[in-house]
Amino acid sequence: MTRQSLPVVVDVVRLADRQEELRGELPVGSLPRLCDSLTSGQGSAKVVLQFGRDEGRRLLIRGNISADVELQCQRCLRPMPWDLQATVLLAGCYSEQDADSLPETYDPIMIGDDPLRLALLVEDELILALPTLARHEDDPDCRPLELSAPAPQSEKPDDERQANPFAVLGALKRRDDS
C-alpha cells in the first residue's frame, strides 16, 4: 500500500502481516504539539513507514520521517530553518512485560484494540528528533543578545562586600560561648 496522503488511522497488525509500506506527507500545522516548539507551522512531514515482523515474529514499524521546520535560535533568538530527521524502529508490544523484554535496538509502541493514529506516531517521532539546543552553526550574524542596561550595583560599601562571609557566624558563635 503506497499512498501520497496518509490515512488517519491504521491497523498495524494487518499492515505488518501483509508487509506493507506507507508513503506520504502530513502538514506540519496538523501536529499541534510539534508546532509548540516551532516558530512556524509551515511545511510538511515526509513519511516512509514499512510494517512487518522480525525473526521472532515481533511486529515492527521501520522507516524515516523528515520535515523542514523553522526553530528559534537560542543564541540570537531569530528564526532558523532546521531539517528534522527521525529514524523509526518500533516493536509492537501488548503489555509492559513485552516492552521490558525488547532488545535495546527497538523502541516499544503499545498495541491495543484501537487502530493506531498515524499523525500521533509521526508527531512523537519528530518531537524526539528536535535538537536539545537549536542555534545557528556557522552564521557570523548570530551572536547572543546584549543587554543595554548596566548591571545593578550593590549598595554595600566595598569593605563589607569583601569581608569574610563566615565572620558573622564566628561572631554569633563567640557570643553563644560566653
| Integer Cα distance of 67 and 69 in angstroms | 6
pLDDT value at position 1?
A: 44
Instruction: Band the pLDDT of 164: cuts 50, 70, 90.
Output: confident
Which has the closest alpha carbon to 118: 172, 54, 48? 48
Q: Which amino acid is at 157?
A: P
- More confident of the two residues 112 and 29: 29
Residue 72 confidence class, pLDDT cut points 50, 70, 90: very high
The chain-wide mean pLDDT, for the chain, equals 86
Q: Evaluate whether residue 72 is within a structural domain.
A: yes
* pLDDT of 158: 55
Residue 177 domain-assigned (yes or no): no
Work out how many domains the chain is built from and give that number: 1
Task: Note down the domain range covering 67.
Answer: 9-129
For residue 157, tell me if it sits in a domain: no
Q: Would 152 be classed as within a structural domain?
A: no
Interacting residues of 119 by C-beta distance below 8 A, sequence separation 6+:
6, 8, 26, 30, 31
Which residues, in sequence order, are CB contacts of 38 under 8 Å at separation 6+?
A: 28, 69, 70, 71
How do residues 14-57 score in pLDDT, each as one tens digit? 999 999 999 999 999 999 999 999 999 999 999 999 999 998 89
Q: Is residue 68 part of a domain?
A: yes
76 occurs within a structural domain: yes
Q: Does residue 3 sit within a domain?
A: no
Q: Is 168 within a domain?
A: no
